[in-house]
Structure 1
Amino acid sequence: GADTIRRARESGPYGYILKPVKDHDLVSNIDSALHRHQLERELRESELKFRTLTEHNNAPVYVIQGEHFVYVNKAFTRLLEYTADECCRMAFWNVIHPDYRQMTKNRGLARQRGEKVPDRYEVKLLTKSEQTLWAELSVALIEYQGRPASLGTAIDITGRKMAEEALRHSEEQYRLLVENANEAIAVFQDLTIRFANRKMSDASEYPIDELIGRSFLDLIHPDDRELVVQNHLLRIQGQDLPGVYSFRFVTKSGEVKWAEINTAFIDWEGKTAVLSFLTDVTERKMMEEEIRRHNQRLEYLLTVAKIGIDIIDEEYNILYIDPAWSKIYGKPDGRKCYEYFMDRDAPCDNCGVPQAIAERRIVIKEEILVKEDNRIVEVHTIPFEEGGRTLAAEFNIDITERKRLEQQLVHAQKMESVGRLAGGIAHDFNNILQAIIGLSHFALSEAAANRPSSEEIEQILTASRRATALVKQLLAFSSRQTMSCEHLDLNTIIGEMSGLLRRIIGEHIELTTESDEDLWSVYADPGQIEQIIMNLCVNSRDAMP
């Protein structure tokens, strides 16, 4: 517990506890705050790496969520001449040429719904100055800030399109175009390089004269050579293969990079050859790998922290479920949350979703997960706005161990109360017995001196009656009976007890009593009042030096 509090003070979540909290809840609350803090830090670090990679990426990169851009890098703004703010305020299909706009819109929305659509295709783009560009879009479905989104690159292939058009006119014109193209272009026959442009030389770090005549496989990473050869042979056989695929290549300095290749058959000096367009996608691959690692880390953190996350709409439909729970419960497959988690036909009586959505506030409730051996979770239901409607994110924190400790604490407190009660009874009886024993010794000494006195005997009987009254009180407490209360004059009670009190505290201590004629009466049990007075005197005596 102390170590948890120390780590919380150092790492930040100590500030999460803003109001008094019970001691037995403190460690559990701080642990929960530490888990949330760790998740938030991982997400911030991942987003920072994502932005660092994309902002320094020469390839135009964008992220689409719903109908709009939510992120574009500098290369994308340079390509289309729009600022990042302008892009994020427009629908993503507004930058697409009308000839390709509807197709791009349909595919973009379908991908976010989880439908299978082509992940690479060519379209025309419109810049802010209304210039037309050709671009090759490479798009993948990702999670961005907890929701489905499309991560894409828009590679300018205007030069390639111009080159393809020029091939139909003149090989010489083609050479001029490809030499100045923005992507690496090579022609090879029987896997031997016959032509390479300047970009191909820059990417491979080989001079053009060293590339000509070299086997194309010399540039391919050993682990990917079989893939490239197999695709080449199948294409020669006329089989329908994806037009674009990725592989690794090795530069002259030994650096490993990723490339995407798009090929077409052409006639080169009277023989069939392969025209290849290669794009360096190393930075994109690094970004995809970072996103994959981020998702793995997030899944691991959620699993270790035992925090299940889901997103529910106002009709109890499950819009998101974290991977850890999918492994336990399977895919939702259109089931309502109460069907999926609880095997119920109707919403749970304790469900916080409708209250959180209706009142626009965080609702905290406890649930028992019957499918997980009655594991107890504390459900924090947090409403948020999306697409014009209010949804609810549920963070399910495992409190099974905390509940077990609370039960142990309640039992320990009960035992402590019993112990205090027994100690109090023993203390009260001890005070009465001291009075009886002291008075008995005094009476014996008087009798031995032939000075019998009935006063001591009366006081012994009085103390014995108090012992009887104490037993009566104990029996009344155990059976929850009411006390025998009456109106009492405290002056009279103290006057009657003064002799007994002097003998109890000893002759070496002076006892002085002061009465007040205007003192009001009290309504109480006489035995309890006498016991209180006796305890005060004995405790005062014991506290004296």
Structure 2
Amino acid sequence: MVEPESIKEGDLFKVIAETTSTCIFITAERFIYVNPAFERITGYSLEEAKKMRFYEIVHPEHREMVKQRGLARLKGETPPKNYSFKIITKDGRTRWVDFSADRIIYQGRAAIIGTGYDITDLKETEQILRDAKKQWELTFDSITDLVSVHDRDFNIVKANRAFREFFNRPVEEIIGKKCYELFHGSKEPWPECPHVLAMKAEKPCTKEVQYKNTDKILLVTVSPVYDPEGRLIGGVHFAKDITELKRIQKEVTKKAEQLRIINTIITQAQETLDLKRFVSIVLKEVKALLGADVIKFFLKQEDTLRLTDYIGVQSPPPEEIKPGECFCGKATSERRIVFAEDMQNSPIQLLKHCKDLGMVSFISIPLVKKDSTLGVVGIGWRHRVGIKGKYEMLETLSGELALVLHNALLYERVKNHARGLEERVKERTLELQRAVNLMAGREVRMSELKETIKKLRNQLIEAGLEPVADDPLKEPPGV
């Protein structure tokens, strides 16, 4: 350690230069002087440094920049005085230095006096922080939900990529904007705003939010954020687009209701095996289900569709339709649902009866069991309707009704067969009764004949005459 009172005035620079931890050097194109700190940082001694151009210790990445600035400074130009760059030490390590320089006249010629601080640890720390920041931003932007940070006054201070893409705006048009301006297009917070509620209660709050002028629905959760002193400074918003989820939920609810109605129809139809009753239930319930104006039920018998029953028609529809004719015939032959939203402009040929009814939309639903069409239900509206979202339900209804119709037809055949058997039993019973009656009549006449013969024999005997033949009605011996 150098005692202050022992320092001579002329030695002051040398004492400072050789005791400081700051690298100090003087250079023209080659180094003229380097202090001990320079030697410690670079590994080069003064003698070694004097043989080197000042830019030769600079890392190749920064070498040309340092060279051009140094040469310019020697010429009297004024490049930046302070900047950082990397150097290569004698043992090949890379170090960062924070460099300051100025032009001087040394021993009658232009030179540069410079200082440098080893900031390698600082640079490494900065790099760690940059990497951490980059990793955080990558993570922040990789979240598919809309994530944003808001201060207590509703100003957006941070927003991830999903947030920016949802609103289709660059970050400059989002940061600093009031959240309620973006979400609701309003000039004040929404009364049920989750940010308002979370700030008041100082606990997380979740609400469904309708995005302005769209059908978009967001599920927004706001969690309070505190500073190191525990003061509430804002909130983190997590917003999930649940529009599709809501649509699916609505669709599931709708399908559940449709299935409930189908189940009601099928249950009622299954309660009776009577074909006429079954058809009546189908017409009534399907008409109510679809809000139809006209509904007709045809049974397929051999190669013909025969009208069984109908609702909503003043004059009776045709009693027979050939497969392939009109909508019902086409549905029968192709075993698929046939629909036209505007049947008047449909390529399918219409029956005159349907035209006269003023039908606009029409659908024919075949009742198919094991690739065999048992019947068809024709449904018509006098206004335009669509079946979007109902097709799957109608196919389900078709399959279930076909099964019940199949059972009803089997029951009808069994019932008809039983009725035929009953008629034949009655006929056979009558025939048997007639035979019994006939036999009874014969027995009476035989008894009368026996009595007559007996009287005649007795009369012959009384007259002294002997009968010349045996009694033909006499039972043979042993009988």
| Max Rg structure | 2
Give the TM-score normalised by structure 2.
0.50
Relative to total residues, which structure has the larger helix share, 1 or 2? Answer: 1
